[in-house]
């Protein structure tokens, strides 16, 4: 009789423990991403560049005007490209919803293509050709190692 009582108590105890475990545990998991609709962000659009005539000597910053620029600078990369020659990554100064300000690239060309790569939109926006003039001009030939002197009169 004791064995029978012990068996009944053990079965009731195990059933109670299993019921507590099953009902007491919650299964909290993040909702799967593949079931959510993806909202494609608006594509950036370039409407103009300042200065519009090109980066002449004395211009240190170039402002790219447009739409749908997100105000996070780490989301954008701006490149100045000379087709089939070189591509230079520009230093970002400021990014707002309607403009991106970059430092003048170390580049001289009559036909640079400006490209904006937006990570959130997943596409590259192009604008060009854009002219970038020389800042420094060579003057004379100093091959003779002559000592340079000057006099200034006011």
Whether residue 64 contacts residue 46, with contact meaning beta carbons closer than 8 Å, is answered with yes
Query: Block means of pLDDT (10 residues each) for the chain, length 154 residues?
Result: 77 83 69 70 83 83 86 75 86 88 87 84 81 76 63 70
pLDDT given at position 73: 61
pLDDT given at position 74: 66
pLDDT given at position 146: 63
pLDDT given at position 63: 92
pLDDT given at position 71: 60
Whether residue 125 contacts residue 116, with contact meaning beta carbons closer than 8 Å, is answered with yes
C-beta contacts of 69-74 below 8 A and 24+ residues apart:
69/44, 69/95, 69/96, 69/97, 69/98, 69/99, 69/100, 69/118, 70/41, 70/95, 70/97, 70/118, 70/120, 71/95, 71/96, 71/97
| CA proximity to 109, closest of 78, 77, 138, 134 | 134
Return d(Cα 25, Cα 12) in angstroms, integer: 20
First to last CA, the chain: 124
pLDDT given at position 52: 83
Asked, as a colleague might, if the bond just before 25 is cis with ω within 30 of 0, I would say no
């Amino acid at each position: 009789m004791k064995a029978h009582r012990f068996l009944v108590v053990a079965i009731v105890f195990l059933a109670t423990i299993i019921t507590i475990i099953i009902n007491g545990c919650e299964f909290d998991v993040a909702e799967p991403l593949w079931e959510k609709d993806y909202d494609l962000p608006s594509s950036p659009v370039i409407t103009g560049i300042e200065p519009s005539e090109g980066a002449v000597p004395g211009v240190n910053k170039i402002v790219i005007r447009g739409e749908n620029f997100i105000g996070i600078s780490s989301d954008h990369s701006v490149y100045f490209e000379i087709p089939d020659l070189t591509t230079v990554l520009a230093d970002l100064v400021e990014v707002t919803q309607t403009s991106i300000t970059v430092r003048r690239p170390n580049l001289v060309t009559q036909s640079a293509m400006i490209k904006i790569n937006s990570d959130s939109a997943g596409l590259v926006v192009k604008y060009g050709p854009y002219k970038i003039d020389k800042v420094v001009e060579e003057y004379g030939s100093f091959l003779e190692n002559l000592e340079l002197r000057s006099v200034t009169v006011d």
